A = this chain, B = another copy of it.
Amino acid sequence: MANDDIKQMWKVPEPTLRRLPWYLAFLKLMKGKGETFVSSTQIAKEINVDASQVAKDLSYVNVSGKTRVGYEIATLVDVLESFLGFTSQHKAFLFGVGSLGAALLQDSGLTQYGLDIVAGFDVRPELAGTTINSIPVYHMDEFPAKIRKYGATIGIITVPVERAQEVTEQIIAGGIKALWNFTPFRIRVPEHIVVQNTSMYAHLAVMFNRLNSINQ
Protein backbone atom coordinates (compact mmCIF):
# COMPACT_ATOMS: atom_id res chain seq x y z
CA MET A 1 0.00 0.00 0.00
CA ALA A 2 1.39 3.41 -0.95
CA ASN A 3 2.26 5.83 1.80
CA ASP A 4 -0.41 8.29 0.66
CA ASP A 5 -3.10 5.64 0.97
CA ILE A 6 -2.04 4.86 4.52
CA LYS A 7 -2.18 8.51 5.50
CA GLN A 8 -5.56 8.75 3.89
CA MET A 9 -6.75 5.79 5.93
CA TRP A 10 -5.59 7.33 9.21
CA LYS A 11 -7.49 10.47 8.42
CA VAL A 12 -10.92 8.88 8.14
CA PRO A 13 -13.15 10.20 10.93
CA GLU A 14 -15.32 7.71 12.83
CA PRO A 15 -18.66 9.29 11.76
CA THR A 16 -17.59 8.84 8.12
CA LEU A 17 -16.71 5.19 8.74
CA ARG A 18 -20.13 4.73 10.32
CA ARG A 19 -21.97 6.30 7.37
CA LEU A 20 -20.09 4.53 4.57
CA PRO A 21 -21.76 1.13 5.28
CA TRP A 22 -25.18 2.84 4.84
CA TYR A 23 -24.11 4.16 1.44
CA LEU A 24 -22.79 0.72 0.55
CA ALA A 25 -26.08 -0.99 1.47
CA PHE A 26 -28.03 1.48 -0.69
CA LEU A 27 -25.58 1.15 -3.61
CA LYS A 28 -25.84 -2.65 -3.53
CA LEU A 29 -29.62 -2.27 -3.71
CA MET A 30 -29.35 0.01 -6.74
CA LYS A 31 -26.88 -2.36 -8.37
CA GLY A 32 -29.34 -5.21 -7.82
CA LYS A 33 -31.99 -3.14 -9.61
CA GLY A 34 -29.70 -2.79 -12.63
CA GLU A 35 -28.79 0.90 -12.10
CA THR A 36 -25.33 1.95 -13.35
CA PHE A 37 -24.67 5.51 -12.10
CA VAL A 38 -25.49 7.39 -8.91
CA SER A 39 -24.93 10.99 -7.78
CA SER A 40 -24.06 12.07 -4.26
CA THR A 41 -27.37 13.96 -4.25
CA GLN A 42 -29.23 10.69 -4.82
CA ILE A 43 -27.35 8.97 -2.01
CA ALA A 44 -27.90 11.98 0.23
CA LYS A 45 -31.65 11.99 -0.37
CA GLU A 46 -31.95 8.27 0.31
CA ILE A 47 -29.82 8.24 3.48
CA ASN A 48 -31.04 11.59 4.82
CA VAL A 49 -27.58 13.18 5.01
CA ASP A 50 -26.42 16.42 3.32
CA ALA A 51 -25.13 15.95 -0.25
CA SER A 52 -21.95 17.83 0.69
CA GLN A 53 -21.41 15.38 3.54
CA VAL A 54 -21.82 12.41 1.18
CA ALA A 55 -19.29 13.92 -1.25
CA LYS A 56 -16.89 14.59 1.63
CA ASP A 57 -17.29 11.06 3.02
CA LEU A 58 -16.66 9.57 -0.43
CA SER A 59 -13.57 11.77 -0.88
CA TYR A 60 -11.80 9.52 1.67
CA VAL A 61 -12.35 6.59 -0.66
CA ASN A 62 -10.20 6.35 -3.79
CA VAL A 63 -12.97 6.83 -6.32
CA SER A 64 -13.99 9.79 -8.42
CA GLY A 65 -17.34 10.72 -9.86
CA LYS A 66 -17.96 12.08 -13.33
CA THR A 67 -19.62 15.44 -13.87
CA ARG A 68 -23.36 15.05 -14.55
CA VAL A 69 -23.46 11.23 -14.39
CA GLY A 70 -21.94 10.75 -10.93
CA TYR A 71 -20.27 7.60 -9.63
CA GLU A 72 -20.27 4.25 -11.39
CA ILE A 73 -22.20 2.04 -8.97
CA ALA A 74 -20.41 -1.29 -9.56
CA THR A 75 -17.00 0.33 -9.06
CA LEU A 76 -18.12 2.25 -5.97
CA VAL A 77 -19.54 -0.94 -4.41
CA ASP A 78 -16.24 -2.80 -4.96
CA VAL A 79 -14.08 0.07 -3.75
CA LEU A 80 -16.24 0.67 -0.65
CA GLU A 81 -16.35 -3.02 0.33
CA SER A 82 -12.60 -3.22 0.09
CA PHE A 83 -12.01 0.16 1.79
CA LEU A 84 -14.25 -0.83 4.72
CA GLY A 85 -12.35 -4.10 5.15
CA PHE A 86 -15.38 -6.28 4.37
CA THR A 87 -13.56 -8.23 1.63
CA SER A 88 -10.69 -9.52 3.79
CA GLN A 89 -11.11 -11.75 6.84
CA HIS A 90 -10.18 -10.46 10.31
CA LYS A 91 -9.71 -13.10 12.98
CA ALA A 92 -11.61 -12.58 16.21
CA PHE A 93 -11.95 -14.36 19.58
CA LEU A 94 -15.18 -14.17 21.54
CA PHE A 95 -15.01 -13.97 25.34
CA GLY A 96 -17.99 -15.15 27.39
CA VAL A 97 -20.06 -17.89 25.76
CA GLY A 98 -23.30 -17.04 27.59
CA SER A 99 -26.62 -16.32 25.96
CA LEU A 100 -25.48 -13.36 23.81
CA GLY A 101 -22.01 -14.82 23.17
CA ALA A 102 -23.43 -18.12 21.94
CA ALA A 103 -25.93 -16.22 19.78
CA LEU A 104 -23.12 -14.24 18.12
CA LEU A 105 -21.16 -17.44 17.44
CA GLN A 106 -24.26 -18.71 15.65
CA ASP A 107 -24.51 -15.64 13.40
CA SER A 108 -22.58 -16.67 10.29
CA GLY A 109 -23.60 -13.40 8.63
CA LEU A 110 -20.67 -11.52 10.18
CA THR A 111 -18.25 -13.58 8.07
CA GLN A 112 -19.64 -11.93 4.95
CA TYR A 113 -18.52 -8.60 6.37
CA GLY A 114 -14.97 -9.75 7.08
CA LEU A 115 -15.29 -10.89 10.70
CA ASP A 116 -14.05 -14.44 11.20
CA ILE A 117 -14.75 -15.59 14.77
CA VAL A 118 -12.27 -18.45 15.14
CA ALA A 119 -12.78 -19.39 18.81
CA GLY A 120 -14.86 -18.72 21.91
CA PHE A 121 -13.58 -18.64 25.50
CA ASP A 122 -15.33 -19.12 28.81
CA VAL A 123 -14.36 -19.80 32.42
CA ARG A 124 -16.96 -22.56 32.85
CA PRO A 125 -15.13 -25.91 32.56
CA GLU A 126 -18.20 -27.67 31.10
CA LEU A 127 -18.06 -25.47 27.97
CA ALA A 128 -14.42 -26.24 27.17
CA GLY A 129 -14.11 -28.66 24.25
CA THR A 130 -17.59 -27.96 22.88
CA THR A 131 -18.29 -26.27 19.54
CA ILE A 132 -21.00 -23.84 18.45
CA ASN A 133 -21.63 -23.48 14.74
CA SER A 134 -18.36 -25.40 14.21
CA ILE A 135 -16.45 -22.79 16.26
CA PRO A 136 -14.42 -24.35 19.12
CA VAL A 137 -14.94 -23.14 22.69
CA TYR A 138 -11.91 -23.20 24.99
CA HIS A 139 -11.35 -22.58 28.68
CA MET A 140 -10.08 -19.05 29.35
CA ASP A 141 -6.81 -20.54 30.66
CA GLU A 142 -6.03 -21.63 27.10
CA PHE A 143 -6.20 -18.08 25.74
CA PRO A 144 -2.41 -17.35 25.75
CA ALA A 145 -1.68 -20.54 23.79
CA LYS A 146 -4.57 -20.04 21.37
CA ILE A 147 -3.71 -16.44 20.49
CA ARG A 148 -0.26 -17.62 19.46
CA LYS A 149 -1.88 -20.33 17.36
CA TYR A 150 -4.62 -18.27 15.67
CA GLY A 151 -3.12 -14.77 15.69
CA ALA A 152 -6.50 -13.14 16.34
CA THR A 153 -6.46 -9.34 16.70
CA ILE A 154 -10.10 -8.64 17.61
CA GLY A 155 -11.78 -9.51 20.92
CA ILE A 156 -15.56 -9.65 21.25
CA ILE A 157 -16.57 -9.12 24.88
CA THR A 158 -19.80 -10.78 25.97
CA VAL A 159 -18.82 -11.65 29.55
CA PRO A 160 -20.95 -10.61 32.57
CA VAL A 161 -20.53 -6.94 33.53
CA GLU A 162 -18.53 -7.73 36.68
CA ARG A 163 -15.83 -9.50 34.65
CA ALA A 164 -15.66 -7.00 31.76
CA GLN A 165 -12.69 -4.91 32.96
CA GLU A 166 -10.68 -7.92 34.17
CA VAL A 167 -11.13 -9.79 30.87
CA THR A 168 -10.32 -6.61 28.93
CA GLU A 169 -6.97 -6.26 30.67
CA GLN A 170 -6.19 -9.96 30.32
CA ILE A 171 -6.80 -10.07 26.58
CA ILE A 172 -4.98 -6.80 25.83
CA ALA A 173 -1.97 -8.22 27.71
CA GLY A 174 -2.28 -11.28 25.45
CA GLY A 175 -2.09 -9.21 22.27
CA ILE A 176 -5.67 -8.34 21.26
CA LYS A 177 -5.66 -4.94 19.49
CA ALA A 178 -9.36 -4.13 19.01
CA LEU A 179 -12.30 -4.73 21.33
CA TRP A 180 -15.95 -5.03 20.43
CA ASN A 181 -17.70 -4.53 23.75
CA PHE A 182 -21.27 -5.82 24.03
CA THR A 183 -21.48 -5.38 27.82
CA PRO A 184 -23.11 -2.26 29.31
CA PHE A 185 -19.84 -1.65 31.18
CA ARG A 186 -17.52 1.16 30.05
CA ILE A 187 -14.23 -0.68 29.75
CA ARG A 188 -11.02 1.30 30.21
CA VAL A 189 -8.22 0.64 27.71
CA PRO A 190 -4.79 2.08 26.77
CA GLU A 191 -4.87 4.72 24.02
CA HIS A 192 -3.61 2.49 21.21
CA ILE A 193 -6.42 -0.03 21.67
CA VAL A 194 -9.50 0.31 19.44
CA VAL A 195 -12.87 0.02 21.19
CA GLN A 196 -16.35 -0.18 19.73
CA ASN A 197 -19.32 -0.36 22.10
CA THR A 198 -22.52 -2.02 20.96
CA SER A 199 -24.88 -1.43 23.82
CA MET A 200 -28.07 -3.32 23.10
CA TYR A 201 -29.42 -2.07 26.43
CA ALA A 202 -28.94 1.59 25.53
CA HIS A 203 -31.08 1.03 22.42
CA LEU A 204 -33.72 -0.69 24.52
CA ALA A 205 -33.73 2.20 27.02
CA VAL A 206 -34.39 4.73 24.25
CA MET A 207 -37.15 2.62 22.66
CA PHE A 208 -38.91 1.92 25.96
CA ASN A 209 -38.79 5.56 27.03
CA ARG A 210 -40.19 6.85 23.74
CA LEU A 211 -42.87 4.15 23.66
CA ASN A 212 -43.97 5.12 27.16
CA SER A 213 -44.23 8.74 26.06
CA ILE A 214 -46.45 7.73 23.12
CA ASN A 215 -48.67 5.57 25.29
CA GLN A 216 -49.45 8.22 27.88
**Footprint of B on A, CB under 8 Å?**
1, 6, 9-10, 12, 14, 17-22, 24-26, 28-29, 32, 46-48, 84-86, 90, 98-100, 102-104, 106-110, 113-115, 153-154, 161-162, 177-178, 180, 183-186, 188, 192, 194, 196, 198-214, 216
A154 close to B196 (CB less than 8 A): no
For A115, give its contact among B26, B48, B204 (CB under 8 Å). Answer: B204
- Grouping DSSP codes into helix (H, G, I), strand (E, B) and loop, the A interface class, with mixed when no group exceeds half, is helix
B203 close to A29 (CB less than 8 A): no
What is the copy number of this chain in the assembly?
A: 2
Q: Would you give the shortest CB distance from A165 to chain B, in whole angstroms? A: 9
B17 close to A209 (CB less than 8 A): yes
B18 close to A211 (CB less than 8 A): no
For A201, give its contact among B102, B108, B113, B213 (CB under 8 Å). Answer: B113
Query: Apart from A6-B213, A178-B211, what 19 extra A-B contacts exist at CB < 8 Å?
Result: A6-B216, A9-B216, A10-B213, A17-B202, A17-B206, A21-B205, A22-B185, A26-B186, A46-B186, A48-B186, A48-B188, A84-B208, A98-B109, A100-B107, A100-B109, A114-B204, A177-B211, A177-B214, A198-B198
Q: Hey, which chain B residues are within 8 Å of A183, CB to CB?
A: 25
Q: Hey, which chain B residues are within 8 Å of A22, CB to CB?
A: 184-186, 199, 202
Identify the 8 closest CB pairs spanning chains A and B, nearest first.
A85-B208, A25-B184, A103-B103, A103-B107, A99-B109, A194-B210, A196-B203, A18-B202
Q: Hey, which chain B residues are within 8 Å of A107, CB to CB?
A: 99-100, 103
B212 close to A47 (CB less than 8 A): no
Task: Answer whether A209 and B162 are a contact pair too, CB < 8 Å, given A22-B186, A202-B21.
Answer: no
